[in-house]
């Protein structure tokens, strides 16, 4: 749900702690990302990943089993990357900042996030990993709603996840499912929707 | 955006006016729907559609060209089916009724709507037709928001489409993209979000 989904640490070439096993994973997941961006789900074959990464295909098959396993591990790697929700002092601005991260991830060309969503319709493993990635982000972002409750901007018994979904789901719907031309104020428009839900009216 | 998307008239076996050309289209689109439900996008080949429908493959190729053309025409046929938004006397209840239609279409097993969304990631023609189908439904449903303005339930300058998207997008997101276990009150929860946006707070 943020730009970290776009360029997870293992995709961004940052060095990670760990020895040969970690480096192998980094090379394989970098290959997955570049193949996915170039040719979509159909391009992420085990053999293409082995060739692109320079990792022996026996190793790729043993550790990741199939394309679904590769995509799921890519999302797991993204989830391991630390992410904290914004803390601007107002719920509306926190939701706006999150929405802007989502818009950036979905409108980047090419977009890993859009490619992973498309892949989730082909691979149950990718669908499961995508859901788990998003749920993790929503759980982390709940603190923004809890702070809003303390400031009196949100109802005491509001469900944080409902607020975050009300704010962010329209952006995924417009940009990924409807493929609408993007209204300039889309991030703000639906951050306001989330804030209205939190305030509990009508 | 409604259960009509689920079982468009041409899929439901109702007889339509028109002669042999209309009956050919009905047989072909029935075949598209059943193949899509059975095997997803990959099952909707031109040859399988010709075989299933009993329509000569030369005719299928000439009139629909490719799988994208078949899926797009299926959505066009659904769009031709008359649909009027509910008119319950309250915006919240109108949004709730629309959301219940969407939930029904997405949770039916198997679901033509879910299959068409999946296909939209494979076929630009299907993606275009799906967007055009949804935009048509949102344009039709705008009257529900206009009635709410007259009743004083919505701000005078509210954008009807924003209200309808705020109310319905979270359902598509939860059921199609996140594939969440469905909360029992999902239709009502986000109809309230739409009503809050219409009321223009905060």
Whether the predicted pLDDT of B124 surpasses 70: yes
Rounded to an integer, what distance in angstroms lies between the CA atom of residue B20 and that of residue B16? 11
Domain that holds residue A34: 3-79
d(CA B122, CA B67): 10
pLDDT digits over A50-90, tens only?
A: 999 999 999 999 999 999 999 999 998 988 888 999 999 99
Mean pLDDT of B10-19: 51
* CA A65 to each of CA A62, A71, A72, A73, A151: distance values in angstroms, whole numbers, following the listed order: 6, 11, 11, 11, 49
CATH of the domain at B134: 1.10.357.10
Residues B86 and B94: beta-carbon distance below 8 Å = yes
B95 and B191 co-located in one domain: yes
Last residue of a domain, one of B18, B46, B79: B79
Whole-number pLDDT of residue B80: 85
CB contact under 8 A, A197 and B192: yes
For A134, which of B165, B178, B201 is closest by C-beta distance? B178
Distance from CA of A20 to the nearest CA of B (A): 34
Same domain, A46 and A30: yes
Do A73 and A88 fall within a single domain? Answer: no
The residue out of B58, B79, B100 marking a domain boundary is: B79
Q: Region A171-190: what's the mean pLDDT?
A: 93
Q: Which two tokens stand for residue B122?
A: 């494979």
Mean pLDDT estimate for chain A? 89
Instruction: Look at chain A and report how many structural domains it folds into.
Output: 2
Q: Are residues B69 and B21 in the same domain?
A: yes
Contact: B131, A199; criterion CB under 8 Å: no
Shared domain for B98 and B71, answered yes or no, is: no
Q: Closest Cα of chain A to B126: distance in Å?
A: 11
- The reply to whether B154 and B182 lie within a common domain is yes
In terms of domains, do A74 and A129 share one?
no
**Å from B15 to nearest chain A CA?**
31
B139 touches chain A (CB under 8 A): no
Nearest Cα residue in chain A from B158: A189
Average pLDDT, integer, range A105-111:
89
Question: What percentage of residues in chain A have a pLDDT greater than 70?
Answer: 90
Query: Which of these three, A25, A46, A79, is where a domain ends?
Result: A79
Domain harbouring A47, CATH code: 1.10.10.60
Closest CA to A65 of A127, A2, A7, A126: A126
Closest-CA distance of chain B to residue A178, Å: 5
Contacts of A190 in chain B (CB under 8 A): 165-166
Residue A98 has pLDDT above 50, yes or no: yes
Q: Which residue has the higher pLDDT, A40 or A145?
A: A145
Same domain, A104 and A160: yes
Regarding whether A24 and A88 lie in a shared domain, the answer is no
Please tell me which of the candidates B131, B174, B202 has its beta carbon nearest to residue A195.
B202
Residues B155 and B189 reside in one and the same domain: yes
Quote the Cα angle for B171-B176-B180, to 5°: 75
Tell me what ipTM this predicted complex has: 0.86
**Probe site for chain B from A135, A164, A196, A201 (most B CB atoms < 10 A):** A196
Whether residues A34 and A90 fall in one domain: no
Same domain, A74 and A51: yes
């Amino acid at each position: 749900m943020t730009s970290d989904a776009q360029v997870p640490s293992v995709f961004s070439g940052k060095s990670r702690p760990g020895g040969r096993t970690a480096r192998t994973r980094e090379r394989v997941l970098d290959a997955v990302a570049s193949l996915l961006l170039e040719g979509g789900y159909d391009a992420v074959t085990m053999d293409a990943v082995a060739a692109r990464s320079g990792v022996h295909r026996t190793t790729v098959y043993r550790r990741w089993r199939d394309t679904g396993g590769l995509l799921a591990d890519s999302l797991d790697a993204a989830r391991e990357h630390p992410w904290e929700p914004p803390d601007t002092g107002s719920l509306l601005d926190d939701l706006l900042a999150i929405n802007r991260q989502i818009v950036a991830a979905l409108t980047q060309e090419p977009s890993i996030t859009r490619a992973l969503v498309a892949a989730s319709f082909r691979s149950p493993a990718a669908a499961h990993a995508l859901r788990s990635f998003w749920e993790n982000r929503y759980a982390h972002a709940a603190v923004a709603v809890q702070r809003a409750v303390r400031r009196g901007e949100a109802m005491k018994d509001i469900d944080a996840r409902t607020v975050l979904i009300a704010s962010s789901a329209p952006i995924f719907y417009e940009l990924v499912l409807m493929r609408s031309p993007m209204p300039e104020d889309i991030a703000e428009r639906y951050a306001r929707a989330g804030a209205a839900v939190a305030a509990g009216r009508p």
